[in-house]
Structure 1
Amino acid sequence: MPSTADPSRPGQPHQSISVRTSSPPPAMPPPPMRSLSPEELLAQTSLLDNLMDDIGMGKFQKQLMFLCGLGWFADNMWMQCIALILPRVQDQFEIQDKYIGILSSSMFVGMMFGAMFWGMLADAYGRKQAFNFTLIVTTFFGIAASFANSYWLLCLLILGLGFGVGGNMPVDGALFLEFTPKKNQYLLTFLSIFFSFGAVATSLLGYFLLPPFSCETHVEGGCRGRGWRYMLLALGGLTLSMVVGRVILFRLEESPKFLLNHNRHQEAAVVLCRIFEINHKEPQSDNFEENIEALTTRFQQPDTGIYSGEESSSSESESSDAGTSPTEFGNMRRVPTSDPDSALSRHRRLGSNQTGGPHSHEPGTRPSYFARQRRHWKHKWNTALRRLEPLLAPKFRLSTILIWIIWALVAFAYTAFNVFYPKFLQEHGQTGNESLKQVYQDMIVYSLSGVPGSVLATYMVETFLGRRYTMAVSTFGTALSVILFAFLSSHTVSVVVSAILSLLSTLNYAVIYSYTPEVFPSEIRGTACGVAAAMSRLAGIVSPLIVGAMLTVNTSFPLYASALTFLISGICMVFLPIETRGRAAT
């Protein structure tokens, strides 16, 4: 009988599965997996934690930390790029202050939808796809934006760029956390050092590319300098090199926590064994093998009883999202089905021909292509909405609401200051008109000052302050720094104060980005991080528009608004109900 390799499990050893030579009647779906009790879920999580402890923090996690860090690097690299090129784009296309904020807002619109899309994709179909495709989309739109011949086309391309880069931080943070042993989870905070390095890299490129190819003063008819185009092109090429590192040079495994949540216990066991082999040269210990066997036999028990049509439908939906689980760890074969294609393809072939169903049709006919697509996307939309419901369950409601407020307020305040920082430097110095070279030198100092913030945050979150109070203290300090920057006119003092502000805001962001995935369990972690990041991007959309309007009145008004917003967000941090220090991610 002919056989072929399993095409839906890339990277696994080629196993033989039977392929039918004829088209038999469709088989009944396999019985649904029974739901695990709370005690069993706790035992499963504890067992996985033991396995991750046996695997340890080795070569695989170190490589993954670097590649996840590249996503954080790209996120801030592109945001800093928009801040640097904003005045140059304004000069070339002669855009008024009240409209120039639209460019930055376009970036945040894309990042908002990108954060939600890639976060939900990661929860529904796995971290692996989102991890690989975010930077591919970013590269395409980043390079394309360098050739934009109008301001509005540039805004549109930057929106697409934001859609790609917006998924990096929520997806990469969740992915790294789920591959890291409990005792090393503090490294998620350290990951933010890449965020700081992204700003440093962009500032250095700006120093070398923008002053030589830009106009020092306003030119009638618009400056023809191409410095900002070279910036976009250079960063697009740099992002492309990150894509090569992720997709070609590293073999990413799917998250074991994601696989367990989708009843794919055998695949989770294979992934864990594979990572053990990467990290250790010696054979697996007896304890590790016993835990693997327990993982694949204890928690994967099919419900053989009679189940209702509603339960069957739910099971089919889960099967469609998660794939079919293997039944035997030894031979790694799938549960037999009538066709190796996806559940969606099987659904389309059957045409949803249930008697009396809302989409039933005459035998021998099929619904139109558009009807099938409409039904398909309606199902996806309903699935996405259902994924939001656990975030507002009583257990997480207060945490979810406060985290959304914090992400939004901090993003508003940080964007109000950071996006227009070059403009503030030019207008708040002693001369009131600093040279471009001086401005970009100050930007390098500002960016470099953020690097120690990530290291300091990694230490502080493990002290008595924990995650919550580390966030709060750094945020209150950031608010004070913004006020001082607004009132002090000396160039030297302004640079020193902005350096302190950069350190504290980086420390603040480092903890926010690590705290959020630690609060929520694995099955909703991607969605939780994605929606929180979307709140951040929504505030980022509004902030440049409001700041642009404020600039037409007084350049200090945005600074006062930024300080007040930082202050309110710090108060919210104090009231967060969950402290995650010393708690294993579930």
Structure 2
Amino acid sequence: MSSLSERSRASPGPPNSPPPLRSLSPEEVIAQTNLLDDLMTDIGMGKFQKQLLVLCGLGWFADNMWLQCIALILPRVQSQFEIQDKYIGILSSSMFVGMMFGAMFWGMLADAYGRKQAFNLTLIVTTLFGVAASFANSYWLLCLLILGLGFGVGGNMPVDGALFLEFTPKKNQYLLTFLSIFFSFGAVSTAFLGYYLLPPYSCEDPVPGGCQGKGWRYMLLAMGGVTFSMVIGRVLLFRMEESPKFLLNHNRHQEAAMVLSRIFHINHKEVHSETFEENIETLTTRFTKPHSPGNTSGESSSESESGVSPTEFNALRRPHPHLRPFSTTGSSAGETKYRPLFLHKYRNKWQRKYRTAMNRLTPLLEPRFRLSTILIWVIWAMVAFAYTAFNVFYPKFLQEHGQGGKQPLQVVYKDTLIYAAAGVPGSVLATFMIEGRLGRRYTMALSTFGTAIATILFAVLSDHTALTVFSALLSLLSTLNYAVLYSYTPEVFPSDIRGTACGVAAAMSRLAGILSPLLMGFLLSINTSIPLYVSFAAFGISGVLMCFLPIETRGRAAE
């Protein structure tokens, strides 16, 4: 504590007012990005990246695992608390409300304070709320806890995807699409547990006063245990490094060089090559933004006492380049005297947070990215609306749709398991298709049109075998579509706004996910098939919009 206070006193100026720095020119930014790509190529796709692939994949695994869990327990929750059809969608909407705010919060946190913090905290928050939800004694308390659960889950895919992309050499960045196989296995694991936990501990028919079966509680508790095991893997069994691109964007070149050197050692277990050493030296000298003149001798004493140079110390304090300094003006001494201090403090705090958010969103709407940003936002929203309309009520569709009328729970959850397992090959197909002639954009469009066709066939046919086949086809194609969409989005945007771009896109999908269960719950009370027709139309519109995306990222290095 003493050394920290001494260091703070030794630094000139207020702690939140770093000295003015020059910005890198566009040519320097490109050169720095190319140099980092060369360094990542030297490092290669080794042990560190493979471990990171698994740990990031577990975040995607948790995302879909919890989404499918809510879909599976929804009819059982409805049975216990005796909730009407038009209100039962609120449970899923609560999940998506949390995921929407979580996606924005964790994405912006990742851009402002680093990927590492968000990477670890998302699953911790998810675990706490997931376990707590299993003890809810009312429907509305359950909705509130599921909202908190969604807040944690919401950051997994945007943060983990951006993090993996920034640690991966250019030639291996297609593996971001492969992460979606974990997404599919998340659904399979939930369906597997649901098949064994829900039918034995749930009621087949409505019970006066509500069914008191605890199957859905056991499901939430089991999901919380699985998520906690992922937390242990991330926090205790793996040393996560901060993203070098994030560090460079914050002018922390020495730290970036140390991270790159450690990863090289993990992958190769040998002395650095001459080329690697030269590139590291260039990175730490050529692109370091010089301080303005006028540093005091206090900085030298800071270095001698703490072992940290003034350059390194000030770099640690430096805000994101897109952030503008905020100052409070216009309040007189008299006003300050009579205004409650804590209100003044928190008003300024939220004003700064609002300005920070707006400054991060502004680059997304510059001419270079404007069309891509708008189309991606709409596509994420439309696909999420369509998929949620089908997926959230899928067990209920199976129970009430088709020749057999009301199906036994054992049959319903067996079909759900088939539906979830059918999505796994979609992730593998996407990994190969995006590198072929169709590229990212048209692979997305083709799979989305196919999903629309499978949805309408599921709606108009009533034979049980046909329903199983076309629901499996829908699962395959929608997983393929999501796999490409999740990898395409971070590839379009540069690293300094990538977390925000992915977070806002994910937030748009969560917003659609909020509205979809509410609307579909109302339509479901009119006719079981209407939500399926709405889902078909939304998938079709999404496919058309994908054809107009202006940027094809196949073979292009992430900036």
The TM-score with structure 2 as length reference comes to: 0.92
After the TM superposition, which parts of structure 1 deviate over 2 Å for at least 4 consecutive aligned residues?
19-33, 303-306, 331-334, 336-344, 356-362, 365-374
> What's the counterpart of residue 138 of structure 2?
150
Q: Distance in 1 between matches of 2:456 and 2:189?
A: 28
> What's the counterpart of residue 89 of structure 2?
101
Residues 149-171 of structure 1, C-alpha deviation per residue, up to 9 Å, x if partnerless? 11011001000000000000000
Q: Tell me the CA shift for residue 552 of structure 1.
A: 1.2
Q: Does 1:139 align with 2:127?
A: yes
Which segments of 5 or more consecutive residues in structure 1 lack a partner in the other structure? 7-18, 307-323, 345-351
Q: Distance in 2 between matches of 1:342 and 1:392?
A: 28
Change in Cα spacing, 1:480 to 1:31, as seen in structure 2 (3 Å) is same
> What's the counterpart of residue 476 of structure 1?
449
Q: Of residues 305, 329, 333 in structure 1, which corresponds to 2:308?
A: 333
> What's the counterpart of residue 61 of structure 1?
49
> What's the counterpart of residue 420 of structure 1?
393
Q: Tell me the CA shift for residue 537 of structure 1.
A: 0.3
Change in Cα spacing, 1:22 to 1:55, as seen in structure 2 (3 Å) is closer
Q: Tell me the CA shift for residue 412 of structure 1.
A: 0.3
Change in Cα spacing, 1:491 to 1:131, as seen in structure 2 (3 Å) is same
Q: Does 1:517 align with 2:503?
A: no
Change in Cα spacing, 1:495 to 1:442, as seen in structure 2 (3 Å) is same
Change in Cα spacing, 1:359 to 1:268, as seen in structure 2 (3 Å) is farther
Q: Of residues 17, 20, 23 in structure 1, which corresponds to 2:6?
A: 20
Q: Of residues 231, 234, 243 in structure 1, which corresponds to 2:219?
A: 231
Contact 1:69 1:195 in 2 (8 A): yes
Q: Tell me the CA shift for residue 30 of structure 1.
A: 5.1
> What's the counterpart of residue 585 of structure 1?
558
Q: Of residues 222, 228, 233 in structure 2, which corresponds to 1:245?
A: 233
Q: Does 1:567 align with 2:558?
A: no
Q: Tell me the CA shift for residue 339 of structure 1.
A: 11
Give secondary structure in 1 for the equivalent of 2:200: helix
Residues 85-117 of structure 1, C-alpha deviation per residue, up to 9 Å, x if partnerless? 000000001100000000000000000000000
Q: Distance in 1 between matches of 2:238 and 2:407?
A: 45
Give secondary structure in 2 for the equivalent of 1:188: helix
Q: Does 1:168 align with 2:141?
A: no
Residues 361-396 of structure 1, C-alpha deviation per residue, up to 9 Å, x if partnerless? 59xx99934422322232122111110001111100
Q: Distance in 2 between matches of 1:279 and 1:480?
A: 46
Q: Distance in 2 between matches of 1:466 and 1:143?
A: 41
Map 1:69-468 to 2 at 5 A. 69-302=57-290, 304=292, 333-335=308-310, 357-358=329-330, 368-468=341-441
Q: Of residues 476, 485, 495 in structure 1, which corresponds to 2:468?
A: 495
Give secondary structure in 2 for the equivalent of 1:212: coil
Residue identity opposite 2:484 in structure 1: V
Change in Cα spacing, 1:139 to 1:266, as seen in structure 2 (3 Å) is same
Residues 420-458 of structure 1, C-alpha deviation per residue, up to 9 Å, x if partnerless? 011111122321111000111101110000000000000
Give secondary structure in 2 for the equivalent of 1:371: helix
Give secondary structure in 1 for the equivalent of 2:289: coil
Contact 1:27 1:338 in 2 (8 A): no
Give secondary structure in 1 for the equivalent of 2:241: coil
Residue identity opposite 1:33 in structure 2: L
Residues 107-136 of structure 1, C-alpha deviation per residue, up to 9 Å, x if partnerless? 000000000000001001110111110011
Residue identity opposite 2:258 in structure 1: V
Residue identity opposite 2:471 in structure 1: S
Change in Cα spacing, 1:152 to 1:521, as seen in structure 2 (3 Å) is same
Aligned length: 541
Q: Distance in 2 between matches of 1:65 and 1:549?
A: 41
Q: Distance in 2 between matches of 1:25 and 1:501?
A: 60
Contact 1:31 1:302 in 2 (8 A): no
Q: Distance in 1 between matches of 2:526 and 2:159?
A: 40
Give secondary structure in 2 for the equivalent of 1:567: helix
Q: Distance in 1 between matches of 2:110 and 2:345?
A: 24
Residues 304-347 of structure 1, C-alpha deviation per residue, up to 9 Å, x if partnerless? 379xxxxxxxxxxxxxxxxx9xx99xx98231799999689xxx
Q: Distance in 1 between matches of 2:403 and 2:315?
A: 71
> What's the counterpart of residue 322 of structure 2?
none
> What's the counterpart of residue 36 of structure 2?
48
Residue identity opposite 2:408 in structure 1: S
Contact 2:32 2:283 in 1 (8 A): yes
Q: Tell me the CA shift for residue 230 of structure 1.
A: 0.4
Change in Cα spacing, 1:261 to 1:221, as seen in structure 2 (3 Å) is same
Residues 273-326 of structure 1, C-alpha deviation per residue, up to 9 Å, x if partnerless? 0100110112100000000000000011315379xxxxxxxxxxxxxxxxx9xx
The TM-score with structure 1 as length reference comes to: 0.88
Change in Cα spacing, 1:191 to 1:338, as seen in structure 2 (3 Å) is closer
Change in Cα spacing, 1:228 to 1:128, as seen in structure 2 (3 Å) is same
Change in Cα spacing, 1:34 to 1:21, as seen in structure 2 (3 Å) is closer
Report the structure, 1 or 2, having the larger helix content: 2
Residues 12-51 of structure 1, C-alpha deviation per residue, up to 9 Å, x if partnerless? xxxxxxx739967964755322111111111000000000
Q: Of residues 489, 504, 507 in structure 2, which corresponds to 1:531?
A: 504
Change in Cα spacing, 1:447 to 1:22, as seen in structure 2 (3 Å) is closer
Residue identity opposite 1:20 in structure 2: E
Contact 1:134 1:167 in 2 (8 A): yes
Q: Tell me the CA shift for residue 506 of structure 1.
A: 0.1
Change in Cα spacing, 1:571 to 1:164, as seen in structure 2 (3 Å) is same
Give secondary structure in 2 for the equivalent of 1:536: helix
Contact 1:517 1:529 in 2 (8 A): yes
Determine what percentage of the aligned residue pairs are the same residue.
Answer: 73
Residues 479-535 of structure 1, C-alpha deviation per residue, up to 9 Å, x if partnerless? 000011011111011101111110000000000000000000000000000000000
Q: Distance in 2 between matches of 1:332 and 1:108?
A: 47
Q: Tell me the CA shift for residue 219 of structure 1.
A: 0.8
> What's the counterpart of residue 9 of structure 1?
none
Give secondary structure in 1 for the equivalent of 2:356: helix
Contact 1:93 1:151 in 2 (8 A): yes
